[in-house]
Structure formats: structure tokens, C-alpha cells
Structure 1
Amino acid sequence: MLTEERHQFIRDRLAAEGKVLAGELASRFGVSEDTVRRDLRELAKAGQLRRVYGGAVASAPFAASTISQRGSHAVEEKMRLARAAVGVLAAGQTLFIDGGTTNEAIARAIPRDIELTVATNSLGVASALADLPLVELIMLGGRYIRDLGTCVGGDTLAAVAQLGADLFFLGSCGLDASRGVTAFDSAEAEVKRAMARNSAGIVIAATNDKLATAAPYRVAAADAIRHLVVERTAPAAILADFERQGAEIHVA
């Protein structure tokens, strides 16, 4: 495949999914990862993407998209992950669930006959849980960010500090065995860190495009993850790294 053909494929994949992984591209193109990294450097220099650990993400247009726009990506995969993720729940638990389209899918998948207390800073998650009769719903207020679909800031952090949770369903932007869980927005990452500190364990449901990637702001180390829910096609080598650090792997 010629260089320009590779570049066009990368641009098309970024437009459709917002992210590319260097290893996957190397396998698809039949070239070395060094060649792919050179392609990504050239496209980054042209302002057509932003490089992150393990690959690249789309530049501002995708990053600035609304949560409803992001919700159209990998819908079926997120539904399967959600159905597997709610399998770790036990009646009587208290949960933190923060924002993200996968977490909204998880909220919609929670059975109506399970008693839970759920604290969330996400309007989408709250809306999905609003009519569940056995869920005590706690809204964590603060400054609402439309693009994120969540509340952040001092008021949100103060509300989180008053609670303790058995599990935190954490919506991750990047997930890497060495870099841990990361996020693109600093205020959002601060809220995620507070929820992680006040939880006994972290649950993450991640599509394949989140694995082996990292965003700028660190949220938690990989060994803080108790349950990792992944697609059936997730790379075994990546999952083994998380298992070695204590995560229980659930395949959707």
C-alpha cells in the first residue's frame, strides 16, 4: 500500500471512530510499526491528528463533538459490554457511575429488580436510571459541560467527598497496562480521580479502540481496576498485562 493510501485510510478511520492504534494499522497495512509511527508523525505535523501513546486521536473536530454524536459510534459493541458489565453487580451496593456513552449503556442495562444506590454526575446516566424503582439515585451537581454530558468542578468534588462506593464504573478515554486509566479533560479527570479514591474497586468496560492508548490526564493506575469488561476480539496479550495487575477479565 502506498504512503498516500495509508494516510487516507488513517484519515477515514479517524473520521469514523476518532482513534487509531499503531499495532492494528501495521497489521492491516502489512508494514512495520515504525512505518506507521512515521505516517502518524507526518499527519500530526500537518495538523490532521494528535498522537497519543499507542496510536493517534482525531484533532479538534472529533474531540469537540457532543456526547450524543459520540454515542453513534460502536453502538452494538457498547450494548454487549453493558450486558456483561452489569453481571458484576450485587444487590445493596453503592455505585459511582460517571459519564460516557458506554456508561450510559451500562445504566440502561441495569435490571429493574436489583436494589442499588447510584451516585452520578452524568445527566445521561441519571436519565437512564430515573424510572428504576429500586435504585436510589444521587445526582452530583456542579458546573455542567455539554460536550461531556457531565458535571465537574468544586461542587461536584465536594459531593463526591461525602460518599463512599463499593464500585466505580469509570468511563475511560485511554486504557493502558503501564500508563493506567487516562482522560482528555483535566476537570473531568479530577472528578474521576475523586470517585476512584472513594471507591473500593473500579469497573471499566472498554471497546477495543480504548485499549493500549493513553490520554494526557492520569486518573488511576492499572492495578486499581477490579473488573475489566472487553470485547471478544480484544488482544490476548493486552488482557494478560491487566490480569497480571489484578484485574478480573469479563468477555462480552
Structure 2
Amino acid sequence: MSERLTAHERRGAIVALATSDGRAGVEELAEHFGVTASTIRRDLALLTAQGHLARTYGGAMPSAPAVETSFGQRSHEAFRQKRAIAAWAAERVGRDETLLLDAGTTTGHLARALRHRDRLTVVTIGLTVVNELADADGVEVLCLGGRLRHISQGMVGPFAEAALERVTADRVFLGADGLTVERGICEADLEQTRLKELMMARAGRVYVLADASKLGRRPFHAWARMPASWTLVTDDGAEPAEVARFRAAGVEVVVVDERGRPSRYA
């Protein structure tokens, strides 16, 4: 190529080439983009981790359609990173606040971190959040109700949406299956994305808790649009270029280390 692309542009072009040709080889890609084979291998490793491609011997091919994993499967993925993200989020919460907590594994970690708080109200659609706070005497728990999505252990649908109209919150903490600068939060189900948008509209501060593996991913075709102001909280495994893209779009990004403290490398 005569014009040198940014790393993000090059990876997008790699996905497009693999999709159109059915396969993309390392050596061919290196020659096409004018970069080293090791650079292409790093690109392919990242694109594979993000679910865009599947690795083959000597290259990559388009990945199979994404399949939503169960809550139990997700609970073992990026465990330490999710716990660290939740620890940072818990430090933002003060007494007498009302929170909206999404369903998901990372918000489950956040609920656990809030178990010993006093004078706190948590409004949630997540069964894990309810279970974590069931014996937390200092936390008032309000369940929005609705239809249970067994695979996500969360409530969705018109009952939950109607209940949201009756509450507001100081902060909302959301999870995501994928997250991009251009489109927002990616989920497997349209009802999930609609509920996330409504939750964001009812809160004073919006936080998306997403470990590094979620950034730049588009595993499904349902999207929640983001408000003008929101905060992304991720871990220090996030690619610096991906973090920079969110910041360039005006998003506040907090990158935490394994202890839940802002990373000095962010």
C-alpha cells in the first residue's frame, strides 16, 4: 500500500480482506500493508482475541458467528481484571447514594464489594447482584423485575422498563459484551440494549465496566447508544491505541491495575 495506515485502520482492513477472500495469509498481508510479519501476527492475535477472526496455519480466516456464552462461563473469564475494575467502582460510591446495577459478572463483583456499606440503595436487574446483597443489612435492594434471560441471569422487557420510569439514581454501572467508540455497547439481545439506554437516562453518572477483551469487539448486532458524557473503566491489559481512541472521542477512561488502582501506565 502506498499510504501508511494507522494500526486501527490496518486491522480493520485485515478483517475486510479476510472476509472477502475467505482467508488472509501472514506473508501476503505483510507485503500488502508494508509492515513486518511479526506486526501482522500481533494484529491477527489481537483480532482473534476480539472475536473478529479465527487463526489458521500461516494466517487467519473469518470467525464463526458469535455465540452468547452462559453466565457460568463468563464468571471464569478475566476474573482478576473484573474484580479490580469493581474495586475501583466501589470506591466511587458514597453514603446515601442510589445506584443502578446492570446484570453481569463485573457488576456482580461490584455488588460483593458493596456488601458491608451502610445507607445505600441498589436498584438492579441482575440476579447475581441480588444474591450478593441478600444479607447486606445496610443496603436496600430494589429489583426491577421483568422476564428472566437465563443465559445472562438478568431481567429484561416491558415490566423492567416500566419500573425504571419510577426511579432515578446517582450512578449507573453497566456491563457489555462488546464496546466500540463508534456504536457504543454491543449485546446479544435488543431488549438488553434498550434497557441499558433507559438505565443510562435515569442516572446522573454513567459508568461502563468492561475488561480489556471487550474493547473494540462487535460480537453481535444489538447496540446501546451512549450519552454525551460517560466513563469507561477497564484494566491495564487494554491496548493503548484502543484507550486513546475512546479518549479522543471525549470519553473519560479509567485504566486500573490488578489492585483496582489507576494504572500509572495508562
Instruction: State TM-score, norm by structure 2.
Output: 0.71
> Does residue 73 of structure 1 match 2:88?
no
- Aligned equivalents of 1:38 and 1:69: distance in 2? 21
- Aligned equivalents of 1:113 and 1:31: distance in 2? 44
Answer with 1 or 2: which has the greater Rg.
2
Q: Deviations over 1:115-162 (max 9, x none)?
A: 211111111111111122221100111111111101111111101111
CA contact (8 A) 2:44 2:53 kept: no
The structural deviation recorded for 1:32 is 7.1
The structural deviation recorded for 1:241 is 2.9
- 1:38/1:233 Cα in 2 relative to 1: closer, same or farther (>3 Å)? closer
- 1:30/1:98 Cα in 2 relative to 1: closer, same or farther (>3 Å)? closer
Aligned to 1:129: 133
> Does residue 146 of structure 1 match 2:150?
yes
Amino acid at match of 1:160: L
- 1:128/1:30 Cα in 2 relative to 1: closer, same or farther (>3 Å)? closer
Structure 2: gaps spanning 5 or more residues? 1-17, 24-37, 261-266
CA contact (8 A) 2:187 2:223 kept: yes
* C-alpha RMSD over aligned residues: 2.9
- Aligned equivalents of 1:233 and 1:31: distance in 2? 15
Q: Deviations over 1:200-227 (max 9, x none)?
A: 12112211110112342221327432x3
- 1:192/1:38 Cα in 2 relative to 1: closer, same or farther (>3 Å)? closer
- Aligned equivalents of 2:183 and 2:233: distance in 1? 18
Instruction: State TM-score, norm by structure 1.
Output: 0.75
Q: Report the secondary structure of 2:130's partner residue.
A: helix
The structural deviation recorded for 1:42 is 7.3
- 1:104/1:133 Cα in 2 relative to 1: closer, same or farther (>3 Å)? same
Which has the larger displacement, 99-108 or 179-188?
179-188
Among 35, 38, 49, the residue aligned to 2:64 = 49
- 1:120/1:140 Cα in 2 relative to 1: closer, same or farther (>3 Å)? same
The structural deviation recorded for 1:232 is 1.7
Aligned length in residues: 213
- 1:42/1:77 Cα in 2 relative to 1: closer, same or farther (>3 Å)? closer
Which has the larger displacement, 134-143 or 208-217?
208-217
CA contact (8 A) 2:144 2:164 kept: yes
